[in-house]
Structure 1
Amino acid sequence: MKVGLVTDIFGYMRFEEMLDTCVELGIEALELGCGNWSKAPHVDLDGLLQSSAKREKFLDSIRSRGLEIAALNCSGNQLEPTEEGETHKRVVEKTFQLAGLLEVETVVMMSGCPSGGPNDVTPNWITHPILPQHFKTLEWQWNEVALPYWEKTVKVAKEHGVKKVAIENLGFNLVYNPETFFKLRNEVGEMIGMNFDPSHLFWMGGDPIAAARALGNAIYHIHAKDVRIERGVNNVHGLIDVKPMESFAARSWNYVALGHGHDVGWWKEFFTVVKMVGYEGSVVLEIEDLTMDPLTGVKKSLNVLKEALPREFETKA
């Protein structure tokens, strides 16, 4: 398992500076944002697609430093029934195309969240269906929007040479846990696996270690990210929290640097179980801790990750 990083956290750095910083920190693999929700700070998607010379220079900058690309990321909501949704679909296909040209096997993305019906334009994540129309909406979202899109999308990914599409288990998506993931996979095939991010199951009240056992070899990629359930807030209000992430002092839970929600002992067990079920890919840090600066968040998370992963690391003299 190589140590990776979602490089958007260093979006304030130039490409070459980001690469040098990753080498200095001991990062071995990169996950690069290509657009949609990512500002793609280190990837000129159209430029790389149009120029083989740019692609060669891009890859040489990475490989000459001993780094590799673990995945490209085009996370967004391509099922949104607006022009933005259409734009996200185009970025997804361009990312597939670039992955093929760069010989990157894995693309990370979201399942998407449709609107509440054919005449609605607002995405609707239904998590507490109690009335008949709620269940009708869920059926429409899956059968009329999501499944037709994904049946086409896995074919497009294959055509461009992508080997694995790793769907993240993020809230406000139709796929957000193992059950919903397998609902999609059983329909469209094993081209899709999960980009398993344990942090999301934490705030939903799940157990990521149990989920990893259930997912088994369907885990195609891993984001190492932690969540802290905030004592004194969660106890009163529960885990459903609609306050913005910037209001971290008042939230029931927060994304935090690795080890700041669950100690290294928990992470040791998690990564051991992940290895036991057959995962050998990169473990990619994603840092969204707003209580510390980006570089500090990466360094603190790396300390936990390197201690927790079931492998040896070279010690610098």
Structure 2
Amino acid sequence: MKLGVFTVLFSHLELDDMLDYVSSKGIEAVELGTGGFPGDAHCKIDELLENPGALSVFKEKIDSRGLTISALSCHGNPLHPQKQIAEPNDALLDKTIKLASLLDVPVVNTFSGCPGDHEGALYPNWPVSPWPHDFQEVLKWQWEEKLIPYWKEKNDLAQSYGVKIGLELHGGFSVHTPNNMLKLREACGEAIGANLDPSHMWWQGIDPVESIKILGRENAIHHFHAKDTIIDQPNMNRNGLTDMTDYSQMKDRAWYFRTVGFGHDSKTWADMISTLRLMDYDYVVSIEHEDGLMSIDEGFSKAVDTLKPLMVKESIKEMWWA
């Protein structure tokens, strides 16, 4: 397994400076944003697709530092009911899949998207209650008319380029649990899988270790994020898990993100790493830092220090004791 980082947190640095810094920390892989919510500070997709020379120089910068690219990420909402939002995200996903193939990057990460509730909608509709039954009708329409047709097409496109799609299970989007991840995968194809982020499991009340088992048994984990979450139980009692309090108002939120080790202890993270290996995931654990209590450097450094000793680097080939 390799320890990596989602480099969006270093968007203030030029590519060379970012690569030098993360490699000095012992990072082995970088996850690069190509646009959408992560931005494109370190990966200008149009330039790289249109200029073979620029693509070659870009690859050399990564290779010369002993790094690999774990994934290209273009998180957005390609199913947004407003075309001026959906269409650029859709086009970006297609281009990111193509660039990933050219760079021999096996995974493209994004969100599943969330449609509206009818063709004339202006905003996404995220049903989270089975009753009143209107929500069931909305959910059925979204999946049958939007999600499945769209992702079946993207599954086939990704397969044609030899690339997998890692959907981040994230609240506010149609795919946010292991169950609806597997539902979409079954309907659309095996190029569709999870970019599994335990932070979003915790706040939904899902045990990340169990989510690894559920998805891992189906070979549906394509990529893994390392980000922690803390539950503030008094605020949870008041606001519930679908808390709409702004992220900046941490004192009042039911839950908020922490750097690795500051929401859950090392044993919990060791259990996740071990379960990933148990489920035959032998790829990258990519640090994502969104901790409102720590600077980028401190939060990132603490995450590295926590995870480094836990990474399984030498899996056995046979059980010599049995």
- Whether TM-score is above 0.5 comes out as yes
TM (normalized to structure 2)? 0.94
Residue 284 of structure 2 is aligned to residue 282 of structure 1:
yes
Residue identity matched to 2:41: P
Deviation at 1:129, TM superposition (A): 2.8
**Where do residues 109-128 of structure 1 align in structure 2 (5 Å cutoff)?**
109-128=110-129
SS in 2 for 1:123: coil
**Where do residues 95-244 of structure 1 align in structure 2 (5 Å cutoff)?**
95-159=96-160, 161-216=161-216, 217-244=219-246
Contact 2:81/2:120 (8 A) holds in 1: no
Deviation at 1:234, TM superposition (A): 2.1
In 1: Cα distance, 2:27 partner to 2:129 partner:
41
Name which of structure 1's ranges 99-108 and 55-64 shifts more when overlaid on structure 2.
99-108
SS in 2 for 1:295: helix
Name which of structure 1's ranges 234-243 and 163-172 shifts more when overlaid on structure 2.
234-243
Q: Aligned to 1:246, which of 230, 245, 248?
A: 248
Aligned match of 1:315: none
- Size of the aligned set, in residue pairs, is 311
Where in structure 2 are there 5+ consecutive unaligned residues?
A: 315-322
Aligned match of 1:258: 260
Residue identity matched to 1:206: I
Residue identity matched to 1:87: P
Deviation at 1:282, TM superposition (A): 0.5
For residues 138-186 of structure 1, what are the alpha-carbon distances to aligned partners after superposition, in whole Å with 9 as ceiling and x for unaligned? 0000000111111111122223x24211111111111111110111011
TM (normalized to structure 1)? 0.96
Deviation at 1:128, TM superposition (A): 1.0
Name which of structure 1's ranges 235-244 and 117-126 shifts more when overlaid on structure 2.
235-244
Contact 1:2/1:28 (8 A) holds in 2: yes
Aligned match of 1:50: 50
In 2: Cα distance, 1:170 partner to 1:201 partner:
8
Residue 57 of structure 2 is aligned to residue 67 of structure 1:
no
Residue identity matched to 1:271: I
Aligned match of 2:318: none
Residue identity matched to 2:127: I
Flag as ranges the 4+ runs of structure 1 deviating above 6 A: none
In 2: Cα distance, 1:39 partner to 1:215 partner:
28
Residue identity matched to 2:244: V
What's the RMSD between the two structures over aligned residues? Answer: 1.1
Residue identity matched to 2:291: D
SS in 1 for 2:195: strand
Contact 1:265/1:308 (8 A) holds in 2: no
Name which of structure 1's ranges 243-252 and 144-153 shifts more when overlaid on structure 2.
243-252
Contact 2:16/2:61 (8 A) holds in 1: yes
For residues 15-41 of structure 1, what are the alpha-carbon distances to aligned partners after superposition, in whole Å with 9 as ceiling and x for unaligned? 100000011111100100001112211
Aligned match of 1:291: 293
In 2: Cα distance, 1:162 partner to 1:18 partner:
28
Aligned match of 1:88: 89
Aligned match of 1:29: 29
Deviation at 1:240, TM superposition (A): 2.3
